[in-house]
Amino acid sequence: MLKQKKEQLIGELTDSLSRCTIAIATDYRGLTAKEMVQLRRRLTTMGIEYKVIKNTLTRFAAEKADKKQLEPLLTGPVAIAFGFDDVVKPAQVLREHIRAVGSVLQIKGGILGDKLLTPEDITALATLPPREVLIARLMGQLNAPIQALHNVLSAPVRSFLNVMQARARQLEGG
C-alpha cells in the first residue's frame, strides 16, 4: 500500500475515532460476503460507519485521536462500528444482526468516550430500552414526589368535601 494512501486512511480513521461517541470492535471471521454486505447496509441506514482496516493503521489512528484504550481490542481481524449520535443504536443493531441471521460475528469490545467496554458491557447497552422510554421513566420518577405531595395536601380538603356532601344528603333526606 502506498504511503500516501496509508496516511489518508489513518486520517479518515482518526477523524472517525475523534467524532464517534462509541466504537465497537468486532471479529468478522467466518462471515460470508453476502452477510457482510447485509450488515454494512443495515448499519449504514442507521448512520453507523463500519470499517475493516489493518490493525497497525488503526493503532496509529487511535494514538492520534487519543483513544489508546482501543489497542487491546486490535488482535486478529477486526472491523469497527462507529456510532456518532446514539450510543445504544450500534450495539442494538449488531446484536439484532447476530440474533436474526445466526451470525458468527463476535463483539470483541469497544470504547465509550474514554472507557473501555467489554462484550458484556456492549450486550448490556444493547438491552437498554429506547431513549424515549428512558426519558419517560425519568419524568415519571421526577413527578412521583410532586404527585405524592399533592395527594397529601389535598386529602384534608377531600375529606372535608365528603363530610359536607354527606351532611347535605342527610339534610335533604331527613
Question: For position 66, what pLDDT does the model report?
Answer: 87
User: Are 89 and 7 part of one and the same domain?
Assistant: yes
User: What pTM was computed for the model?
Assistant: 0.74
Same domain, 121 and 136: no
One domain for residues 90 and 158? no
Question: pLDDT class for 79, splitting at 50, 70, 90?
Answer: very high
- Provide the number of structural domains found in the chain: 2
pLDDT for residue 2: 86
Task: Identify whether residues 85 and 147 lie together within a single domain.
Answer: no
Residue 66 belongs to a domain with what CATH number?
A: 3.30.70.1730
pLDDT at residue 108, rounded to an integer = 92
Q: Are residues 151 and 103 in the same domain?
A: no
Q: Quick one: pLDDT at residue 1?
A: 61
Residue 97 near residue 44, CB atoms below 8 Å: no
Instruction: Give the residue among 6, 58, 60, 52 at the shortest CA–CA distance from 27.
Output: 52
Residue 138, domain extent: 129-174
Residues 21 and 44 in one domain: yes
Confidence class for position 81, pLDDT limits 50, 70, 90 = very high
Tell me the pLDDT band of 87, cut-offs 50, 70 and 90: confident
Buried b / exposed e along 21-35 (16+ C-beta atoms within 10 A):
ebbbbbbbeebeeeb
